[in-house]
Amino acid sequence: MSRNESHRPPARRAPGGVRGALARLAVAVLLAAGGATGAPTAEAADSGYGIAMHGTPALPPDFQHMPYANPDAPKGGRLVEGLPGTFDSLNPLIVKGIAVQQIRGYVIESLMARGNDEPFTLYGLLADRIRTDDARSEVTFHLNPKARFSDGRPVTVEDVLFSWRLLRDKGRPNHRLYYAKVATAEAIDGRTVRFRFSDGGDRELPLILGLMPVLPKHAVDPATFEETTFAPPLGSGPYRVTKVKPGSSVTLTRDPDYWGRDLAVNRGLWNFDQVRLDYYRDANSQFEAFRRGLYDFRVENEPLRWHDGYDFAAARSGKVIRDVIRPGVPNPSEFLVFNTRRPVFADIRVREALSLLYDFQWINRNYFFSLYSRSAGFFAGSELSAYARPADARERALLAPFAGHVREDVLDGSYRLPVSDGSGRDRATLRRAIALLKQAGFELKNRVMQRHDDGTPLAFEILVTTRDQERIALAYAASLKRAGIAAGVRAVDAVQFDQRRLGFDFDMIQNRWDQSLSPGNEQYFYWGRAAAGNQGTRNYMGARDPAIDAMIDALLQARERPAFVSAVRALDRVLISGFYAIPLYNIREQWIARWNRVERPKATALTGYLPETWWRRPPDR
Superfamily of domain 333-586 in the CATH hierarchy: Dipeptide-binding Protein; Domain 3 (3.10.105.10)
What b-and-e string marks burial along 578-592, b requiring 16 or more CB atoms within 10 Å of the CB? Answer: bbbbbbbbbbeebbb
pLDDT for the residue 100: 97
pLDDT in tens, 427-450: 999 999 999 999 999 999 999 999
pLDDT for the residue 309: 94
CA atoms lying within 13 Å on the CB side of residue 12: 27
Instruction: State yes or no: pLDDT of 265 exceeds 80.
Output: yes
Cα of 118 vs its chain's centroid, Å = 16
DSSP H/E element including 96: none
What is the arrangement of strands in the sheet containing 121-124, beginning at the earlier edge strand?
Answer: 50-52, 121-124, 112-114
Mean per-residue pLDDT of the chain? 91
**What single-letter DSSP state applies at residue 538?**
S
d(CA 261, CA 65): 12
Q: In angstroms, what CA-CA distances link 404 with 247, 256, 351, 559?
A: 49, 60, 17, 28
Query: Quick check: helix, strand or coil at residue 22?
Result: helix
Confidence of residue 4 (pLDDT cuts 50, 70, 90): very low
Identity of residue 323? D
3-state secondary structure 460-492: EEEEECCHHHHHHHHHHHHHHHCCCCEEEEEEC
Instruction: State yes or no: pLDDT of 37 exceeds 70.
Output: no
| Neighbouring-strand partners of residue 581 | 337
- Which residue, 14, 27, 31, 15, is CA-closest to 401? 27
Confidence of residue 1 (pLDDT cuts 50, 70, 90): low
d(CA 423, CA 439): 27
pLDDT for the residue 369: 87
| Neighbouring-strand partners of residue 444 | 449
pLDDT in tens, 476-499: 999 999 999 999 999 998 889 989
Q: Name the residue ranges covered by the structural domains of the chain.
A: 333-586
pLDDT in tens, 322-340: 999 999 999 999 999 999 9
Q: Whole-model pTM?
A: 0.81
pLDDT in tens, 372-410: 999 999 999 999 999 999 999 999 999 999 999 999 999
DSSP H/E element including 60: none
- Which residue, 277, 297, 279, is CA-closest to 593? 297
Residues 6+ apart with CB under 8 A from 60: none
pLDDT for the residue 517: 93
**Cβ(35)–Cβ(559) under 8 Å?**
yes
**What single-letter DSSP state applies at residue 563?**
H
